[in-house]
Amino acid sequence: MSEMHVIEAVELTKTYEEGRIAALSGMSLAVRPGEFVGIVGPSGCGKSTLLHLVAALDRPDAGVLRVAGHDLAHEPDLSHYRAQHIGIVFQLHNLLPSLTASENVQVPMFELGWRRGDRVARARDLLGLVGLRGRETHRPTQLSGGERQRVAIARALANDPRILLADEPTGSLDSQAGDQVLDLLERVRSESGTTLVLVTHDAGVASRADRLVHMLDGREVEDGSIPRSAALAIAGRRRERVSP
């Protein structure tokens, strides 16, 4: 892997249903440490598949994928790799409903063998960071959608990851809660130097990224930047089309 890149993917392919569905077809991507990259494209173009491969939730069928110095096609222990290097925020927070906010945040720490007192203290600090101090004992059903997503961000930060992956993190939120989540992600990235890769279909969300990677049919079709004003204009037209 180039020392300039924390993520380097070359000609990745990934298929499902015994090869009948091609999710990725020669996808390439390079991300520098501390960069905020937005992955955009139509539904079904392979955005989430790419994110799942970087997160080591699945393995590529072919191609090269090196992340944080690890060859993920041949990494023997993907769970330990994730625990050491990766934080993940999903569109639906994926919190465990039977656990409190604090207990949900502590889940990634078990893989690294943290002691209970250290786990509790770390979870308290992270919930404070995301504006939820005093909500440690609340369960997901006792929190708003925006609050649940902030717990999910705190959980993603539990292992102090080098790379933070977010898959449509505002997709299930209203605009105000979505803006708060994006502000938080940007602040974490700015203060910690964490690399942030975010999948979105929303041009307004995408406009916050340093660089956009456009995908179509399982591969990259454009890699560059989009002016914030242009992205917001696109988002505005989109809202007008869906308004009743």
Fold of domain 7-242:
Rossmann fold (3.40.50)
pLDDT, tens digit (0-9, with 9 covering 90-100), for 89-144 = 987 778 999 999 999 999 989 888 889 999 999 999 999 989 999 999 999 999 99
d(CA 72, CA 59): 7
The answer on pLDDT for 229 being more than 60 is no
Domain ranges of the chain: 7-242
Residue bearing tokens 């002016």: 227
Q: Which of 110, 137, 109, 140 is CA-nearest to residue 122?
A: 109
Radius of gyration of the chain measured on its C-alpha atoms: 18
Query: What pTM value is reported for the model?
Result: 0.84
pLDDT at residue 166, as a whole number? 93
